[in-house]
Amino acid sequence: MKDRWFHNKITWFSFVFSLLVIWVHSYNAELYLGKSPEMEIVYRLEHRIGDGLGQIAVPGFFMISGYLFYRDFTWSRLGEKWNRRIRSVLLPYILWNFLYYMGYVIGSRLPWMTDVVGKGVIPFDLYTAVDAVINYTYNYVFWYLFQLILLILLAPVLYPVLKCVWSRILFLLFLWYITAVKKELPFVNADALIYYSSAASLALSKPQWVERTGKRSQCQTAANLQTSTVGTWHDGRSLCGISGRAADGFCALLCAVPPDGGCRIVDGCAGRRAARGKGFYASQFLFVWCSFCPCKVYQ
């Protein structure tokens, strides 16, 4: 029962974060309303939600991924964890990057699509295809999956560091310092590493803070999520660009969802129905989300 309750919560968070990501990438009021008073109202609404609340979605996904990867983690389970991520993360990453590349190749050769593509004639050769697949050249939104793959591969390095309390504290302080002074790490984004490692630390040291059932745990879960996700401050603002109070309230609302409500309501079909009309990006994102739904493979 406890495990089911936990995975239902993960499903709810993943579903709502998916909707927020779709919202952030779906600003289109000006296409239909033009320059009008109505457009200004809709534009403000779009950006208030997207530029505010929507900014907790990607950090939230990094946290979910980090927590679930290191939940019940041992060295003996490393191969098993990696194997599951090959199916749920790596293969969708390769497939969608290749499909986007082929779409640009075909579109750049159609006379009525050339100006829309705006990249000239895309070369159709092995080197360009490999570059498109590895570096998400024609699918920029997959920077997230690229970062997630790198973080998953870092497990043999991160696990010993995060397992020990003192090395964990020093490591997170180092990441916070790097982010505050706006320095860059090789390949991996420092802020992504903060979110991922913070949640992984909870999984390794204090899983009861996240997985405790009952009403008393809801406020604590919300506080832990808010603190780890948007609690890093710099120049008076959170790194996500949203106030801690707003994020805390949002997390508390999600934590108040009935324990048995998640998987019953938020399944693949409900997700697709909720996002209908949002266009191809919405369909792609929900397909990828359903392909590595935490209830199925992130154990």
Nearest to 266 by CA among 2, 67, 86, 15: 15
Below-70 pLDDT ranges, the chain: 1-2, 213-299
**What pLDDT, on a 0 to 100 scale, did the predictor assign at position 274?**
36
- Cα 285 to chain centroid distance, Å, stands at 11
**What pLDDT, on a 0 to 100 scale, did the predictor assign at position 202?**
93
Instruction: Name the 3-class secondary structure at 278.
Output: coil
**What pLDDT, on a 0 to 100 scale, did the predictor assign at position 286?**
40
**What pLDDT, on a 0 to 100 scale, did the predictor assign at position 215?**
53
Instruction: Name the 3-class secondary structure at 237.
Output: strand
pLDDT tens digits, one per residue of 172-192: 999 999 999 989 999 999 999
Q: Taking a C-beta distance cutoff of 8 angstroms, is the pair 63, 231 a contact?
A: no
Q: Taking a C-beta distance cutoff of 8 angstroms, is the pair 194, 232 a contact?
A: yes
- The residue with tokens 């990867």 is 69
Domain segments of the chain as ranges: 2-84+142-297
**What pLDDT, on a 0 to 100 scale, did the predictor assign at position 214?**
60
**What pLDDT, on a 0 to 100 scale, did the predictor assign at position 1?**
53
Give this prediction's pTM.
0.73
Contacts of 78 (CB under 8 A, 6+ apart): 155, 156
